[in-house]
Structure 1
């Protein structure tokens, strides 16, 4: 035994020195980050100054967007949120375009490169290079132009009618059993699920000319679950891209990588199916058919297949979840603020004598209180509530009066921006009137679709998708929150009890509200 010790002694000595050196390095790094780092002067949680793992923890909990707001309340408008990251709360950083505007000395964080679950082309979301992103966006815009969307609106309206028919059913397969049905009311319906089914069917049909009919049958509901798993993975990788190279993904999100890859493969199969039909001359007009033939007017290039797969995966995932969250949030707030529900309903019904008249256009745009309700719901519960990270390039950038050196990553939490009490009085209260009385002030701190050159390219589609659907639902039905504990599903906690609570997963994971519907004019 003694001989073994003598033999190992040199190795033990080296290991001891290695451990000591590692200990000294960690202590030295901590002291540097706390006191000598270029960002040391900015306040923030002490753990955030030392490690990015604090942000990963809140990402895993799903409350990262709320944590950013809490940090601003405690530390002020500029907070060091990670050793190399700073968040800003003022609208100058966002709407003032210091971070997200055109021509700024910033680029997307390199962490976006890590979010693609499969190797190959990047989507507009994961592309960092500005010129490459510009080419992709010019191509995407050809499929998502106002003219293209107008041609697709009849298909959208058909899906809206299918949604209304499902909401009219007294019982369904997605609600708790044994609910009492009385006075013409339906069972309580989980609008988080129904809004997901609706937006998924819209996206697959408008983009690929192929509805998977998740509104009618559960065969493809697993795809929506796969998409949410993919988003959960993205939310953690944008905070710490080293998670997967270190092999930690299996612990932080077990089983998610398989679902994310399956989601990508599903998108590839749908695109190839659409490409085959296009080659046979089926004549169908949808967004994908335009993207297959789109050419960049500057370079003359189209979408290579790997890039088209990536864009299709993004359109399905982001186009489903973000829009459905806005819809579910609006249902939540309207059923909890009866005066707002009555006023919005009366505005829609008095503007349109027939439900078939409800479509995008001037008449729907004239329903200003109705639109104010939608904007207020998106303010309180933005679909993407965290910060969209940007890396400051060499030479630095001045953000809200602060000179930030190159290499630092900056952002503004959208949820925090939307809850700035200097702009929004009683920020946790649903008050559509603020968009009618002080609209300009409110709009300056409102960014549900982001702003600048990286703003959501599908905003027009999303707005058409949820405004027409919500207007037709209000025209056709009376609605109310479910009674008892079921009616409280979706509520926040503490000082956020009146809010529709979502979990941060790059976009939003949600549950509820449970709503009952009754055909207007019902008489027992």
Structure 2
């Protein structure tokens, strides 16, 4: 089997397994009363009832297959991307003790207790936490798919185009004809040394720089896309990731697993032709969104407020 056919087969096998799992989840949820849980399904059904004006949702949404299109978007976009971002954060922190110590100190000094770790000014004041998240997203963006875009065809007569420009679309001195599909890979942008000096180094401090370079960094930072295609869940993703990381460091200390088990997630120094050869780079694989293995970490509970978790 050729390499291309092997990749196609592997991706299809993974998608089929994902589809089967998702259909089981949907079927199990639909079998319960709408208000059995406070989740996306219950909210969607409630809102559908309001839009119908009679307080009842549309019957076809009881059919699991009718929810398939919604679920295939919400689960990868709202769950798999966030989990990918979180694993990248834990991977890099476990391999950079100075960054780990600084972030742990910030979290444990900012919040008076675990209950205070919630959306609000205290969480927003954790600038190093945001820097760690941004640097992890830059190095290992959880959306590895190529964001293809098409230069629109001009279909309206010149007299009716109004304010629409008729100037050619030029990139790097090359005219891109209307109807052409174009793309710039986000991984390549965020590893370009022109924008990010020492691009493969984990340096959260670069996001705390208030110099003239800061604007350049921000403009080239595109893990959520840019322009009209910017991810609608960006704010939620930052909030979820910040809360999980902050609460983890409040309740636990963690470290890379000892021995070979701790290598999982990193590159292989002996990789063929230098491919995936960076041991300290969290490795991503193309899938529905990005896929990954590891990291393997060892968690140790802290004595501070540990009793709060009992019974949770």
- Of residues 216, 224, 228 in structure 2, which corresponds to 1:441? 216
1:425 aligns with 2:197: yes
SS where residue 220 of structure 2 aligns? coil
Aligned mates of 1:412, 1:284 — CA distance in 2: 41
Task: Say which one has the larger Rg.
Answer: 1
Q: Aligned in 2, Cα 1:269/1:418: closer, same or farther, shift over 3 Å?
A: same
- The answer to which structure, 1 or 2, has the higher relative contact order (CA under 8 A, 6+ apart) is 1
TM score, norm. by length of structure 2? 0.76
Q: Is the 8 A contact 1:490 1:500 kept in 2?
A: yes
1:368 aligns with 2:127: yes
- Of residues 464, 472, 479 in structure 1, which corresponds to 2:247? 472
TM-aligned CA deviation for residue 510 of structure 1: 1.0
TM-aligned CA deviation for residue 320 of structure 1: 2.3
TM-aligned CA deviation for residue 310 of structure 1: 1.0
Q: Aligned in 2, Cα 1:387/1:256: closer, same or farther, shift over 3 Å?
A: closer
Q: Is the 8 A contact 1:489 1:514 kept in 2?
A: yes
Aligned mates of 1:283, 1:518 — CA distance in 2: 35
Q: Is the 8 A contact 1:271 1:312 kept in 2?
A: no
Instruction: Provide, for residues 255-277 of structure 1, a one-character-per-residue CA deviation record: whole Å limited to 9, x for no partner.
Output: 44642542452354255336xx2
TM-aligned CA deviation for residue 428 of structure 1: 0.2
TM-aligned CA deviation for residue 453 of structure 1: 2.9
Aligned mates of 2:264, 2:14 — CA distance in 1: 26
Aligned mates of 2:152, 2:123 — CA distance in 1: 44
Equivalent residues, number: 273
- Of residues 164, 180, 184 in structure 2, which corresponds to 1:412? 184
Aligned mates of 2:149, 2:141 — CA distance in 1: 20
Aligned mates of 2:195, 2:295 — CA distance in 1: 28
Q: Is the 8 A contact 1:421 1:427 kept in 2?
A: yes
1:502 aligns with 2:284: yes
Q: Is the 8 A contact 2:92 2:202 kept in 1?
A: yes
Instruction: Provide, for residues 226-284 of structure 1, a one-character-per-residue CA deviation record: whole Å limited to 9, x for no partner.
Output: xxxxxxxxxx6xxxxxxxxxxxxxx455644642542452354255336xx23xxx385
What is residue 45 of structure 2 aligned with on the other side?
A: 292
TM-aligned CA deviation for residue 386 of structure 1: 3.5
1:398 aligns with 2:164: no
What is residue 30 of structure 2 aligned with on the other side?
A: 272
What is residue 157 of structure 2 aligned with on the other side?
A: none
Aligned mates of 2:153, 2:30 — CA distance in 1: 42
Instruction: Provide, for residues 359-393 of structure 1, a one-character-per-residue CA deviation record: whole Å limited to 9, x for no partner.
Output: 12110110001110011001000001241112333
What is residue 79 of structure 2 aligned with on the other side?
A: 320
- Of residues 484, 488, 492 in structure 1, which corresponds to 2:259? 484
- Of residues 294, 303, 307 in structure 2, which corresponds to 1:512? 294
SS where residue 518 of structure 1 aligns? strand
1:309 aligns with 2:68: yes
1:460 aligns with 2:250: no
SS where residue 444 of structure 1 aligns? helix
Q: CA RMSD in A?
A: 3.3
Aligned mates of 2:105, 2:180 — CA distance in 1: 51
Aligned mates of 2:10, 2:133 — CA distance in 1: 35
Stretches of structure 1 that go unaligned for 5 or more consecutive residues are 1-53, 61-235, 237-250
- Of residues 80, 86, 94 in structure 2, which corresponds to 1:335? 94
Instruction: Provide, for residues 56-102 of structure 1, a one-character-per-residue CA deviation record: whole Å limited to 9, x for no partner.
Output: 94993xxxxxxxxxxxxxxxxxxxxxxxxxxxxxxxxxxxxxxxxxx
Aligned mates of 1:462, 1:383 — CA distance in 2: 12
Stretches of structure 2 that go unaligned for 5 or more consecutive residues are 155-165, 269-273, 305-312
Aligned mates of 1:471, 1:478 — CA distance in 2: 11
Q: Is the 8 A contact 1:267 1:312 kept in 2?
A: no
Q: Is the 8 A contact 2:76 2:289 kept in 1?
A: no
Q: Aligned in 2, Cα 1:58/1:342: closer, same or farther, shift over 3 Å?
A: farther
TM-aligned CA deviation for residue 399 of structure 1: 5.0
Q: Is the 8 A contact 2:149 2:182 kept in 1?
A: yes
Aligned mates of 1:458, 1:310 — CA distance in 2: 18
Q: Is the 8 A contact 1:386 1:415 kept in 2?
A: no
